[in-house]
């Protein structure tokens, strides 16, 4: 629950510190005293949007702090621990607003994004503003009311995640389908290109072999002539054969080797030359024995190379680059083929995700149906006590056409009202007057507040336009809520203020150059005076004070 609120330099508040207790607390004071400013401050420290114009004149920064006790707030305690913001069973919030427009938020001394302050708000407090009834005519608000009582939050959280997952998959599928026509045309082209290239043996080694063989066959005559001439010069030339010349020289040197030992090295070299010439001659003879002047083979190779050159020109690459091109086109074709498989898989996944969404939506629908009538009956009973004696509430839960679902399920929820006997039920905006709508809203807030898990409820002048015995009923309702939740109520009604366990009086102090807000905790006698003022205005009488004391005593029984 909320245990403390301090405000510095916010609007007319210079420095204010408040402590709150369990039960029901009423904040009272003259109109314009600044009671709602405290709610505004609390909203700011819980992450609401801020404006530098809210800073007190003459100050550079406004600062709001709030302390929450975690004893009975398991949800917030767990959230703090999950975000590593927990510290000794407390939740201390701090918000600063600077004149330059900057705003900072802190949880237990650690700076955090304002979004995290709002998440604390969801787990700690509900604020019902004086114009809350205006939002009641919105279908979204009516649906939220039913879901609170139906305890659909966990299911709706699951549905929201499932719906976003489904929606993301649906968008991906639509995008893939929109590309399918273009991809199909590209795939057909690739299939043709890959099929065309597949008719050839497109390996680097094969193409290199073709080019080399074509070059050899095209130059076969010159190769044979050169090989024969070389063999002739080595062995067959009558007077100048290389073998004969070297062999003759070798013989002469060998004869004189015993005279000149230094000829030994030359003899060794010439012997090696003779051996090399023998080997070279053998290689040339083998080459000449096996070389084949095959015009048909040359023609076949040149035809194949011609086709390869044609297809290489078609793809604007060199013949040697065809193997790499073939691999690239094949890989691209495989990728496009796999996208078709992915399309089918995505369609299957989308159907499964849709089934999850529909299952969750159906569970939510059933809980709404089960809750609608009992809740309508409770609200009807409550508005009868709030001066709408013939009021009847119906809650209509209708499945959307074609079972279309969203992150909120597949229902339309409407709260219908009948305020006079014999009239049909109709929409709140069309049937209920402004005052009736305010009372219906208050009845709904009172009936549903006990279903909320947050420990603190704040009612900011939600009882405007209500008086007399109805106001007393409202006060009793709020006091009854305080048995399980902390209730803080800003009110102008003495009947409501008297029902509170504690009362704070808000007033303005006008000094020479400035105005200050002061909040005083009232004892019993002071409460009697304040409630008497609310009953009778400025000129208080003994009778008014006596009435105020009687109201207070009756409420406290």
Burial class (CB in 10 A: 0-12, 13-18, 19+), 300: middle
pLDDT for res 174: 81
- Percentage helix, strand, coil, to 5, in the chain? 60, 20, 25
Q: Which residue has the tokens 């499945």?
A: 399
pLDDT for res 357: 95
Using DSSP, state whether 199 is helix, strand or coil: coil
| Residues 93 and 107 sit within 8 Å (Cβ to Cβ) | yes
Architecture (CATH level 2) of domain 1-126+501-521: 3-Layer(aba) Sandwich (3.40)
| Residues 490 and 35 sit within 8 Å (Cβ to Cβ) | yes
Q: What would the pLDDT profile of 455-512 be if each residue is shown by its tens digit?
A: 888 888 777 777 777 888 888 888 988 888 899 999 989 999 999 999 999 988 877 6
Residue 231: C-alpha distances to residues 243, 246, 284, 374 (Å) = 10, 15, 7, 117
Across 33-42, 51-60, 82-91, 461-470, least confident range:
461-470
Residue 388, phi-psi category: left (phi > 0), alpha (psi -120 to 50), beta (remainder): beta
Using DSSP, state whether 410 is helix, strand or coil: coil
Cα angle 400, 405, 408; round to 5 = 100
pTM summary value = 0.65
What pLDDT band is residue 290 in, cutting at 50, 70 and 90? low
What pLDDT band is residue 378 in, cutting at 50, 70 and 90? very high
Token pair listed for 285: 């003879």
Residues of the chain within CATH 3.40.50.300 domain(s) are 1-126+501-521
Q: What is d(CA 346, CA 41) in angstroms, rounded to the nearest whole number?
A: 50
What pLDDT band is residue 229 in, cutting at 50, 70 and 90? confident
Please give the share of the chain, as a percent, with pLDDT higher than 90: 33
Q: How many CB atoms lie within 10 A of CB 478?
A: 26
Mind giving me the DSSP string for 387-409? Answer: T-TT-EEEEEEEEPGGG--BTTB
Q: What would the pLDDT profile of 131-153 be if each residue is shown by its tens digit?
A: 666 678 888 889 999 999 999 99
Token pair listed for 257: 């080797």
Q: How many CB atoms lie within 10 A of CB 262?
A: 7
| Residues 23 and 502 sit within 8 Å (Cβ to Cβ) | yes
Q: How many CB atoms lie within 10 A of CB 421?
A: 8
């Amino acid at each position: 629950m909320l245990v403390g609120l301090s405000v510095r330099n916010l609007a007319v508040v210079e420095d204010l510190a408040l402590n709150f207790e369990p039960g029901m607390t009423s904040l009272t004071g003259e109109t314009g005293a600044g009671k709602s400013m405290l709610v505004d401050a609390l909203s700011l420290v819980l992450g609401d949007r801020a404006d530098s114009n809210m800073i007190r004149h003459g100050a550079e920064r406004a600062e709001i702090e709030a302390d929450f006790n975690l004893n009975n707030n398991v949800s917030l305690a767990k959230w703090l621990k999950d975000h590593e913001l927990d510290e000794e069973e407390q939740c201390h919030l701090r918000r600063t607003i600077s004149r330059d427009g900057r705003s900072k938020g802190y949880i237990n001394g650690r700076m955090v994004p304002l979004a995290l302050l709002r998440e604390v708000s969801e787990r700690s407090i509900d604020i019902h503003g004086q114009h809350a009834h205006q939002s009641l005519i919105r279908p979204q608000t009516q649906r939220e009311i039913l879901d609170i009582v139906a305890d659909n939050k966990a299911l709706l959280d699951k549905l929201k995640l499932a719906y976003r997952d489904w929606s993301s998959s649906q968008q991906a599928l639509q995008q893939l389908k929109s590309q399918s026509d273009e991809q199909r045309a590209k795939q057909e082209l690739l299939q043709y290109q890959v099929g065309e290239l597949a008719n050839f043996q497109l390996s680097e080694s094969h193409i290199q072999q073709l080019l080399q063989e074509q070059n050899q066959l095209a130059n076969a005559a010159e190769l044979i002539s050169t090989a024969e001439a070389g063999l002739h010069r080595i062995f067959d030339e009558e007077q100048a054969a290389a073998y004969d010349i070297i062999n003759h020289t070798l013989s002469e040197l060998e004869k004189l080797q015993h005279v000149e030992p230094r000829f030994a090295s030359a003899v060794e070299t010439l012997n090696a030359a003779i051996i090399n010439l023998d080997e070279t001659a053998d290689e040339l003879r083998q080459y000449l024995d096996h070389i084949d002047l095959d015009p048909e083979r040359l023609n076949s190779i040149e035809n194949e190379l011609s086709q390869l050159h044609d297809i290489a020109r078609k793809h604007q690459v060199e013949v040697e680059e065809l193997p790499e091109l073939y691999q690239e086109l094949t890989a691209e074709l495989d990728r496009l083929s796999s996208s078709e498989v992915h399309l089918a898989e995505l369609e299957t996944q989308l159907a499964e995700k849709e089934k999850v969404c529909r299952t969750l939506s159906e569970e939510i629908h059933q809980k709404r149906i089960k809750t609608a009538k009992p809740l309508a009956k409770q609200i009807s009973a409550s508005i009868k006590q709030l001066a709408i004696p013939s009021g009847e509430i119906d809650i209509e839960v209708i499945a959307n056409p074609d079972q279309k679902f969203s992150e909120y399920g597949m229902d339309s929820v409407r709260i219908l009202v009948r305020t006079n006997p014999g009239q049909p039920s109709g929409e709140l905006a069309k049937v209920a007057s402004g005052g009736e709508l305010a009372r219906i809203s208050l009845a709904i807030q009172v009936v549903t507040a006990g279903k909320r898990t947050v420990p603190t409820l704040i009612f900011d002048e939600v009882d405007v336009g209500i008086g007399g015995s109805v106001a007393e009923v409202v006060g009793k309702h709020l006091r009854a809520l305080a048995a399980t939740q902390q209730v803080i109520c800003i009110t102008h009604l003495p009947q409501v203020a008297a029902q509170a366990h504690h009362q704070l009086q808000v007033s303005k102090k006008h000094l020479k150059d400035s105005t200050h807000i002061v909040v005083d905790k009232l004892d019993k006698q002071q409460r009697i005076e304040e409630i008497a003022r609310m009953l009778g205005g400025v000129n208080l009488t003994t009778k008014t004070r006596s009435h105020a004391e009687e109201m207070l005593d009756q409420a406290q029984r």
